[in-house]
Amino acid sequence: MGKKSAKDKNTKDGALWSQEPWQALRAGTLGPIAEFDPDRTPGFDGDREDGEKLLAQYGEELSDLQEMLFAQGRSGGTRSVLLVLQGMDTAGKGGIVRHVGGLLDPQGLAITGFGKPTPEELAHDFLWRIHKALPRAGRIGVFDRSHYEDVLPVRVHGLVPESVWSQRYDLINEFEAELTAAGTTVIKCALVVSKDEQKTRLAERLDRPDKFWKYNPGDVDERAYWDDYLDAYQAIFDTTDTDHAPWFVIPANRKWFSRLAVARLLLQTLRGLDLSWPPADFDVAAEKQRLAASD
Ligand code: AMP
Ligand code: MG
């Protein structure tokens, strides 16, 4: 019989976390984003192998909780979850969608990517396209980019006047407060890579035909605005890291860690909903009898 090592036991649940990501990665408690080290794995004492094992374990509980949320949505419940993902190019948003979203049942997931606004979207208020993509009751929504783009590239490149974008922080807080009051639990994750790591990842895209589709020549131009983007992220954390819609800063130089951390945050969010199976809206004993009596 194989003896379980102490390490194996530790991977059971939260033991490898000396501090939960909920605390260790909360934007408001970290220092300036410009000094953030994307190589670190704050709060986590394990290595890559531990992290990958844990991620798979989280998958089981995540999908159970997701099914309960879905069942409640089917039974008149109003709750849903929204995971907002932001990050510079190559930060790994797509990988989170694939690897964390991949632990969940696609039926209960609503994934939306937000690219450059279409003319129709530009003709509306910046939250118009966001409203249309909100998760219905029982669903877990994932935004790959979000309304925060309207205070990121839009601010950095002055796509609208400052008098317009500067008002958006308050508008976003109001919007998210309404959203949470209506039953949606919101968590926001900003994936942070270092400028060097981004260069490595862009170079890899140029070396691999299977990655050309991800490469956008404009991404290189954006690197010249790195510090402006950091300022724009700092402004977001300073103004929109609220208790009802908290921001977490995810170090993303190590993909295994960013995936694990986001999965843990999502798991804690779902646990926090205190979900239960909806009770039957029929007489169970009577139905058993009817079934037994049927042909
Ligand atoms: P990707 O996520 O790599 O497909 O790229 C989408 C692009 O659309 C990125 O360059 C974003 O910055 C850009 N984008 C998304 N939303 C907006 C917005 N509201 N205004 C301007 N650019 C945006
Ligand atoms: Mg891109």
Question: Is residue 184 a contact partner of residue 262, using CB atoms and an 8 Å limit?
Answer: no
pLDDT at 7 over 50: no
pLDDT at 135 over 80: yes
Partners of 144 in the beta sheet? 85, 113
Determine the pLDDT at residue 6: 39
3-state secondary structure the chain: CCCCCHHHHHCCCCCCECCCHHHHCEHHHCCCHHHCCCCCCCCECCCHHHHHHHHHHHHHHHHHHHHHHHHHHHCCCCCEEEEEEEECCCCCHHHHHHHCHHHCCHHHEEEEECCCCCHHHHCCCCCHHHHHCCCCCCCEEEEECCHHHHHCHHHHCCCCCHHHHCCHHHHHHHHHHHHHHCCEEEEEEEEECCHHHHHHHHHHHHHCHHHHHHCCHHHHHHHHHHHHHHHHHHHHHHHHCCCCCCEEEEECCCHHHHHHHHHHHHHHHHHHCCCCCCCCCCCHHHHHHHHHHCC
pLDDT at 18 over 50: yes
Ligand 1 neighbourhood includes 213 CB (under 6 angstroms): no
Two structure tokens written together for 80: 């849903």
Determine the pLDDT at residue 20: 96
Determine the pLDDT at residue 14: 72
Ligand 1 neighbourhood includes 100 CB (under 6 angstroms): no
**Average pLDDT value for residue range 91-117:** 96
Question: Is residue 69 a contact partner of residue 273, using CB atoms and an 8 Å limit?
Answer: yes
Distance between CA atoms of 76 and 79, rounded to whole angstroms?
9
Nearest to 32 by CA among 192, 155, 147: 192
Ligand 1 neighbourhood includes 43 CB (under 6 angstroms): no
Determine the pLDDT at residue 120: 98
Residue nearest to atom 15 of ligand 1 (CA): 115
Two structure tokens written together for 234: 């700092």
**Average pLDDT value for residue range 24-43:** 95
Question: Is residue 108 a contact partner of residue 140, using CB atoms and an 8 Å limit?
Answer: yes
Residue nearest to atom 2 of ligand 1 (CA): 115
Determine the pLDDT at residue 12: 57
Residue of 14 and 3 predicted with greater confidence: 14
Report the predicted TM-score, pTM, of the whole model to 2 decimal places.
Answer: 0.94
Question: Is residue 77 a contact partner of residue 278, using CB atoms and an 8 Å limit?
Answer: yes
pLDDT tens digit string along 282-291? Answer: 999 999 999 9
Q: Ligand 1: which of 145, 154, 172, 228 to mutate, most ligand atoms within 8 Å of CB?
A: 145
The gap from C-alpha 101 to its chain's centroid, in whole angstroms, comes to: 9
pLDDT tens digit string along 151-206? Answer: 999 999 999 999 999 999 999 999 999 999 999 999 999 999 999 999 999 999 99
Determine the pLDDT at residue 13: 67
Ligand 1 neighbourhood includes 229 CB (under 6 angstroms): no
Mean pLDDT of the chain: 94
pLDDT at 4 over 70: no
Distance between CA atoms of 258 and 205, rounded to whole angstroms?
20
Ligand 1 neighbourhood includes 117 CB (under 6 angstroms): yes
Ligand nearest to the CA of 157: 1
Buried b or exposed e, range 204-239, using 16+ CB within 10 angstroms? ebeeeeeeeeebeeebeebeeeeeebbbbbebbbee
pLDDT at 5 over 90: no
Determine the pLDDT at residue 230: 98
Residues near 108 by Cβ (< 8 Å), separated by ≥ 6? 66, 67, 69, 70, 138, 139, 140
**Average pLDDT value for residue range 262-268:** 97
Distance between CA atoms of 13 and 23, rounded to whole angstroms?
17
Q: How confident is the model at residue 213 (pLDDT cuts 50, 70, 90)?
A: very high
pLDDT tens digit string along 59-76? Answer: 999 999 999 999 999 999
